[in-house]
């Protein structure tokens, strides 16, 4: 006998969804078998969000940490210091990279506390090298899994607030 159109649609939808589920299960099984069969030393088949350099090795994967962003630091003379701090690190050292990411707020606080307590006469002629060395020392004192070798300041600008 003939079925009404309303009875055919749910059956067709059910079969389509069942087919899609079956295909997904087969794809997952193939991926699982391929993953188990690959050796541990094999390179990744697909890399999402990897490095921008072609043929990069883990030993020379040096990147620049810019996770602190631009800091707006109030100074003792009602001025504001705009500052971005960056430093190189080895991306192959996963534990150190994770520690750096976990310390972002602490690094910001260290920089803010250092610059906001400088005497007013020192702010006019900031010794950038001395400031870098002091902040580097404080950053490294807070780190346990590695060391930062150098700091870079960019966007270092004092905005006079005495108008």
**Mapped to the 3 state alphabet, what secondary structure does 16-35 carry?**
HHHHHHHHHHHHHHHHHHHH
Handedness of CA 41, 47, 51, 54 (dihedral sign): positive
Q: For residue range 134-156, what is the model confidence (pLDDT) as tens digits?
A: 999 999 999 999 999 999 998 88
Mean pLDDT (the chain, rounded): 83
Dig out the tokens for 104 from the structure.
């972002």
pLDDT of residue 104: 94
**Bridge partner list, 159:** 80
Position 85 pLDDT exceeds 70: yes
Q: Domain-by-domain residue ranges, the chain?
A: 1-43, 58-159
Q: Does position 131 have pLDDT exceeding 60, yes or no?
A: yes
Q: What is the CATH number of domain 58-159?
A: 3.30.479.30
CA distance 3 to 1: 7
pTM over 0.85: no
């Amino acid at each position: 006998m003939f079925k009404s159109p309303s009875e055919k649609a749910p059956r067709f939808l059910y079969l389509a969804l069942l087919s899609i589920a079956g295909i997904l299960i087969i794809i997952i099984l193939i991926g699982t078998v391929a993953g188990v069969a690959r050796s541990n030393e094999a390179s990744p088949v697909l890399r999402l969000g990897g490095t921008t350099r072609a043929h990069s090795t883990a030993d020379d994967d040096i990147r620049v940490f810019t996770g602190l962003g631009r800091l707006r630091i109030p100074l003792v003379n009602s001025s504001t210091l705009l500052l971005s701090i960056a430093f190189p690190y080895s991306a192959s050292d996963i534990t150190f990279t994770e520690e750096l990411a976990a310390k972002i707020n602490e690094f910001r606080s260290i920089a803010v506390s250092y610059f906001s307590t400088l005497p007013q006469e020192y702010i006019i002629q900031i010794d950038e090298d001395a400031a870098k060395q002091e902040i580097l020392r404080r950053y490294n004192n807070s780190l346990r899994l590695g060391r930062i070798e150098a700091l870079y300041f960019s966007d270092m600008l004092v905005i006079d607030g005495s108008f």
